[in-house]
Structure 1
């Protein structure tokens, strides 16, 4: 089963942000995460696929069939919402079986399928319990089982982990991914948490102001962002305006940096990207791109420190495991990425 958004556009009647000219596919068995700032159109995209909204323009294809104006109940999609929306008066098993009841499945078959679905999400034996007696993580699993019990054509996850505390999220990421892989189902996962997206998704789509900026694998998106906007949104980044001033030389506000400039003519305006973890703290005196500085912010994060180093011309963000003083940094030439100039 595959999903394809083809030139999709939607604007809310009151003039709120929607989406514009979205072309995006989800392959069979693929988990596609969608991230972006608030108001970027993430949830709008999910609601368009679910059928809660009708696009102003374009097609939404599921296995080649345009469902843009097909009613919600006829799309056959499983949805897990940010609020799990479990019926408080129903047991976990009855909550899971509810979609089957709506489809006319007999009581015995419903009970068997619900028990099977609960077992798949690690809740074997929890079917008799009411939602109020379950933890947040267990409620999330019940919602996931309910979304999968009728063998949906695709799975839609709308920030499903946001209601959980940090201690539960990592485990639930693994659980969702395990269940999704076992089901082999195309999945659209909307999240504001970049770590969730990068750690779970086969590909990640970045939206801003209703437009698709880039879609790529998590590693490619982080290491080779297509623009200043993507680089600045995904992860932490040092971003400086620069000018190519010669072969393998770029001038920036923090100084002249040596790096490969292939593909950029002398005089070209570029954006210089350096990830904080690639900056070398307290380097050897002969290191390339050596810059003296002074720590102005020092954040201890357990396994690492995140520093702001004041240098001539600006600040450099540094992530390091060093515990001693840092009075200079070096930027390895191979750690520098040159992006198109401007924003």
Structure 2
């Protein structure tokens, strides 16, 4: 089954907020993550697919069928909410079996299918327990089992891991991916966690002010953002207003950089974009030449496996990430680490 938005727009009554001219497709077995700042419209995208709101324009399609005006129940989609929304008075198997119960499945069959799904998410031994006996991660597994037990046309995940601590989020995102791949189901993930989106999604969509600004693979999004705004939102970035000095050279506030300038003309304003991990520390005294700069450490953040350093240089600030433990007094910015984006 595929999930498709065709030129979909929706504006909240009495407000100018909403989403505008959204076109997206999620293929069978594919996981699409939507990220964006608060208020960017990412949750509205999920609500439109789930049927919680109806579009003002455009179509929402499931496997080519227009479901734009159908109720949530008629869309046959599994949804996992941030709160998990388990029934506290029901045993785990009863929680998982509930979607089958409301569809009229016989008790023996729904119990068997619920137990099978609990086994798939590693909770088979807890089928007779109540939700209050579970940790947050275990409740998330049960909510995932419930969303998949009736073999839905698609799976919608609304910030499913935000209530978990950092270590458990890593474990559970891997579990979500394993179960999703096993089910071979089209999945939409809404998340504020960029690392979560980049690590498990086949495609990532970035929302801003109700519009899609870039859709692509995690690698394309991270390495070749279309704008400075996307580069600044996804991961850590160096973004420097600059001008093309000539073929293969740009001039920044702190000196020249060698890079591929393409067909850009001398004097053209650009934004230089470099990821911090692409900047290499240099031994003291080796900062001569284009792309090499000496400075003093303005901030040094120890993050365990890496250090995130702000190096103050004449005319600006260079952010780098390094495994090196020795003092950093100079850096090199390789030409192939530089991307030129439109001026902003």
- Report the TM range for the smaller structure's normalisation: over 0.9
Superimposed CA distance per residue, residues 218-241 of structure 1 (whole angstroms, 9 cap, x where no aligned partner): 011000111111111000000011
Provide the rounded CA distance (Å) in 2 between the counterparts of 1:80 and 1:165: 18
Provide the rounded CA distance (Å) in 1 between the counterparts of 2:308 and 2:201: 26
Normalized against structure 1, the TM-score is what? 0.98
Matching residue of 1:165: 165
Q: After the TM superposition, which residues 217-296 of structure 1 pair with which residues of structure 2 at under 5 Å, given as runs?
A: 217-283=217-283, 284-285=286-287, 288-296=290-298
Give unpaired runs (5+ residues) of structure 2.
none
Worse-superposed segment, 263-272 or 102-111: 263-272
Give unpaired runs (5+ residues) of structure 1.
none
Evaluate the alpha carbon distance shift between residue 272 and residue 178 of structure 1 in structure 2; reply closer, same or farther with a 3 A threshold.
Answer: same
Q: Quick check: 1:304 aligned with 2:329?
A: no
Provide the rounded CA distance (Å) in 2 between the counterparts of 1:340 and 1:293: 27
Matching residue of 1:151: 151
Provide the rounded CA distance (Å) in 2 between the counterparts of 1:148 and 1:45: 21
Worse-superposed segment, 332-341 or 86-95: 332-341
Q: After the TM superposition, which residues 73-152 of structure 1 pair with which residues of structure 2 at under 5 Å, given as runs?
A: 73-152=73-152
SS at 2:124's partner residue? coil
Superimposed CA distance per residue, residues 255-301 of structure 1 (whole angstroms, 9 cap, x where no aligned partner): 11111111322222211101000111125456741111110111011
Alignment length (residue pairs): 342
Evaluate the alpha carbon distance shift between residue 288 and residue 267 of structure 1 in structure 2; reply closer, same or farther with a 3 A threshold.
Answer: closer
Structure 1 stretches (4+) deviating beyond 4 angstroms? 283-288
Matching residue of 1:32: 32
1:186 CA drift (Å): 0.2
Evaluate the alpha carbon distance shift between residue 130 and residue 187 of structure 1 in structure 2; reply closer, same or farther with a 3 A threshold.
Answer: same
Provide the rounded CA distance (Å) in 2 between the counterparts of 1:266 and 1:65: 52
Computed over aligned residues only, the root mean square deviation of the Cα atoms, in angstroms, reads 1.1
Provide the rounded CA distance (Å) in 1 between the counterparts of 2:245 and 2:78: 54
Provide the rounded CA distance (Å) in 2 between the counterparts of 1:264 and 1:186: 41
CA contact (8 A) 1:287 1:330 kept: no
1:66 CA drift (Å): 1.0
Evaluate the alpha carbon distance shift between residue 16 and residue 166 of structure 1 in structure 2; reply closer, same or farther with a 3 A threshold.
Answer: farther
